[in-house]
Structure formats: structure tokens, C-alpha cells
Structure 1
Amino acid sequence: FPYSSREVSFPSRAGGVTLAGTLTLPDSVPPRTALVLVTGSGLQNRDEELFGHKPFLVIADFLTRRGIAVLRYDDRGFGTSEEELRALTGDATTADFALDALGAFDFLAAQPGLDRAKCGILGHSEGGTIAFMAAAAEPAVSFVVSLAGALVPGGRLSLLQNRRLMESQGLDDATVEACCRLLEQCYETLCSVPQADLTARLPELKAALAAGMEGQRVPEPLRLNLLRVLDSAAASPWVYHFLTHDPSDAIRAAGSRPVLALNGSLDHQVDAVENLGAARRLLGESPTLTVKEYPGLNHLFQLCTTGDVAEYETIEQTVSPEVLADLAAWICALGK
């Protein structure tokens, strides 16, 4: 490889958390720019390995070959014992993962030979939300890249995902609309109740939601799933934070810096129209905003047929070459 690769470890800005990762540095020229890669939802390694693919390994290799330093890291708790994993992630929310990303940024920006003023953060999916949260908290973050980043409130994102899922399962329009209205009611309820109070108020809140189902065309399995949303939010700080968090303020706060927001048109997890639309609405007056939607690409930026999750592992391509080229060109231009 025309670059060096080092195993590294560094502290999160959250106390008591140490992260491990890989730092790649180009051999031929001093890096003009550098960035941290932040994974999406769920416990993932530094390569964001899933469905037989390693997208962050591909991205890091492509960018470092073009003179960009890249730090990618394992999510907190990855590779630890079950007991350690519970201790590190049990009460963690997206806000805690933003502190992890800031720890990675601090480590990268302190490396000899790197220009702190040209260090940014790239996030995929939930990582896109985290990148904006980190940039809002740390003015030294010089740019943000959102790859299919979740840029709308979590409840809205979940509602769109559920609507698409129900439609793909062939449910009739009336049933889909009834379920979506009840989901909206559920998410609005969560936003009005602190997570610490949810467990005590579950019977009351479930009764109110069940009353709203009366007379609605909602099959019994879907009724049970709707009630389980409240259970999940009460049991998991991450679920509650995800469903109630609005990233708008963080996105606006990061808007004075260059922002690149990319999505695939067949992304079924983070809808391109909604989320790129949020970037344009919140940052539309920024001359440093670049937005692009890629026809025929899914949530992983693979060229696909349907965009369904089940299709991911059947596709040989890991990341579209067009996306890789656009990423490298945009980041390299910042270093000129």
C-alpha cells in the first residue's frame, strides 16, 4: 500500500471509555486534509463491517491513496466481554457516541504533521447525525461529510421507515395511514415525557394508545408492535434519545463550515428526499453546502435493484466508484 497504517488507541471525551482504531497516513506527500470516520447504528467495527462488506475500509483506502489521512475506530464496547459491553453501552445514547467521535477527532488533530485546521468528520447513517453533533460542540471541526446521514428528527425517520416497510408488505392504504397516525401519536407522547418517568407511566400511556386504536384498521400484530415502542423507549436510553432527538440545531450550528451531504435515491433507511431536503432547508443559505443524490444507490451506496436491506449482501459492489471519486475530490479541494 502507498501509505502507512497504524493501530492506535485514544480516550473518548466521555470519561472511562478508551477506543481502538486504525490511522492511515499517505507516504508520498504530507496530508493536506484528515478526517475521522463514524459508523452508523448498532455495534460495528472500524471497517463498519456488515452484510459481508467493509465500506469504511474501502473508503479509508481510497482516500488515503489520494493524500488524505483517515482515522477509523471500533464502536465503544466492540470486541469486549458481555459484562464490559453492558457497562460501556447500557445507558449510552447518540450524544455519548458524539463524545467518542470527538475523542477520535482530538487524537487525529494532535498527530504530528497534520493541520488541525483541515481536520473533519465523516459519518454514515446515525454517524451523519453524530458528525453534526460533534461539529456543533467543537468549532475546530473544519468540515462535515454526511453519508446517508439521519438529518430529520428520529421519530420522523422511524415513521418513514415503517411506512415504507408496511407498503412493501402489501398492506392497504387505509391500514398504513392508520398505523402511521398512531405511530405519530406514540412519538409525540415520548417527546412530552422524560425517559426517567416512562416506566412508571407505561400503563397510562399504553391505555391511551390502545384507546386510539379502537375503530382503526390495525391488525393485532401491528397493535402489539405499536405498544412495544413504548416498552423499548422505557427500557433503552438509546431508543428514547433516537426517537425524540431533533438534530436541526446541531446542523445549523455546523453550517458555517463546508458540508457535503450525499444520499442514494433507493435508500430505504434514510430517505434521500427528506434528509437531503433537511440539509437544504437548514443550510440552504450556506455557500459551502454541497448536496447530491445518486440515482439507483441504496443506504450503503451500492448500485442496486430495489434498495431493500435483504439485497445488500447479494451485491458485489461495496461502495459506488462515483461516490468514492466525489468524496475524494471534495475533500482534496478543501486542502488546496
Structure 2
Amino acid sequence: MHVLIIGAAGMIGRKFAEKIALTGRVGQRNVDVLTLADIVMPDVASDFAGERRAIAADLSLAGTAKALVADQPDVIVHLAAIVSGEAEADLEKGYRINLDGTRALFDAIRHIDGYVPRVVYASSLAVFGAPFPDKIPDDFHLTPLTSYGAQKAMGELMLDDYSRRGLLDGVGIRFPTICIRPGKPNKAASSFFSGILREPLNGTEAVLPVDENVRHWHASPRAAVGFIEQAAVMDTTLLGNRRSLTMPGVSATVGDQIKALHDIAGPDVVRLIRHEPNPDIAAIVAGWPRNFEVKRAHALGFRAEASFYDIIKVYIEDELEVDKS
């Protein structure tokens, strides 16, 4: 099997590629060829036993998508995107990358006769907009309140339509906010959810820009990799024409996060969190969903952590303990 990961230099793409390199499989299917593409040259999965290709390319530029799918990969994981805060700040760039790049990819696929790959499309909870019920059901309408959410919703609709026409075999996965993200903060408005845990656990100060009663939906990077793997191998006939799924997660307030950090790491670590209100971030986050019913995803085998304690322990195991070894 040939797997193409677009956005492979990002955190989730890198971790998925590393898992393929470690196991040589996606699900129970052997991977013979692994192609990694991103705007910068991906420097991951160098220990993959099969054929590995790394490409630096901008999906939104003419001809890039055609070149990426020329060898007809069996599974395409589309993670490339401009994140929420940046897409809101730069309208043109957000639509060029998040919408035009996605359409270029889908059209490059459909122009190859008889080629119907599995396409795993990374969507977002930002496709939903307030007002929300206490728990958002699987059939809740898409009413995004940000440009990023609108771009992802458009991608979902294209995925449904191209799948309905038999041009590709799509699965859209609406990621929870991934927490705790390793590395440095990015330009996503949600970056602080990881920062207020990651930085203190690493002995440095973190800024909290919102109130502690802000509630959101979270899953770990380890769970995110599991979502992609499940989407890559699942029976898509079970999806019908609704190809996008909200992924499982943990509904927690910022206060819940801080309490879990306190219980696991102690009060001295928590004291490294500095409250510094940011009205712009608070306004964006206020329009985000907080809790979900994910019956469809659970029925199809998707799984995530059960508590924020579990999410913090995953970070310690996968990042801090690895760094010390």
C-alpha cells in the first residue's frame, strides 16, 4: 500500500508517519511506499523500511496536487492547513490554502480515470457555531462563525459530493483540540490549551488568555493518530453520504485542566500559569463548541481518552519520558 501524507511536517502528520515507520502498517495493511509532503521538507520517518519519499511543495500552487497524486497513492491523508487564528487574520491566505488547496487535490484525483483512493480529510470542530445544545449531536447543522470554520465546512461538503460521485472514497475527521501538543506554540487560537500545561510541565511560565470556566473538547496527539489510522482502513459504506465524523474527546474546562495538572504535577507547577486576558482570543473561543455526543464515531471504532488526567499522562509518557530516555 502507498500512503501519501500532505502536511507531514506538522505535529499530527509527523506522528502518524513515525507510527507507520515503526510498525510498517496502517491497521492490518502493510505500507510499501510512504510519501511525505509539506510546505517545508518533511524530516520524519527516515527509518521507514519501505520506499520513502519526501517532498517540499505548496498544495495551493498550480500543478502541485497533480504531481502528488501522479503515482496514485492508495491512501491520502490531507492535513495541510492554515490554522484558525492565522486564517482569521489573513482571509486571502486562509481561503487559498484551506479551500483552494483542497479543491486542487480533489480535482487532481478525479482527473485520473479509474482512480478512487481513500482520502482522509482533516476537518475541525470550528465547522459548528453557537448557539449550541449542552451536547452537540451527530446531526447538528454546520454554522461556522470563523473563516477557518467556513473553509473546513466547504471542504467537508466537497468531500461528500466527490465521494457520492465515486470520484474518491472520503472520510472527514473533525479533530478535537489536540492537547497536549509538543513543541512550541503555533498561531492557532486554541494554542493556549496546550501551553498552560506543556510549559509548566517543562518548567517555564505560561500565559492563560481566557477565564477558567471556558469549556472545550480535547484529545491527545496519540488519539489523533488513532483517528487517522481508523479512518484510513474503515468500511466507508457504513457512512452513507455523510462522510464527516466528530471525533471522540474529553469535555473539560480550563479549570479542569489546571486541577488535573495540580493533582499530577503539584502546586509549584501550577504557579507557572499567569492569567493575562486577551479579548480577541476570548471572543474566538466563545464561539467554539464545548461537548459532543459522538455515537457514530464510537460505533465505528474511534476512541480517545476518558479524562484530562489521561491526556496529561499521555504527554508525559510520549514526550517527557522519551526526552529523558
TM > 0.5: no
Query: Which has more radius of gyration?
Result: 1
TM range (shorter): 0.3 to 0.5
The structure with more helix, counted as a fraction of residues: 1
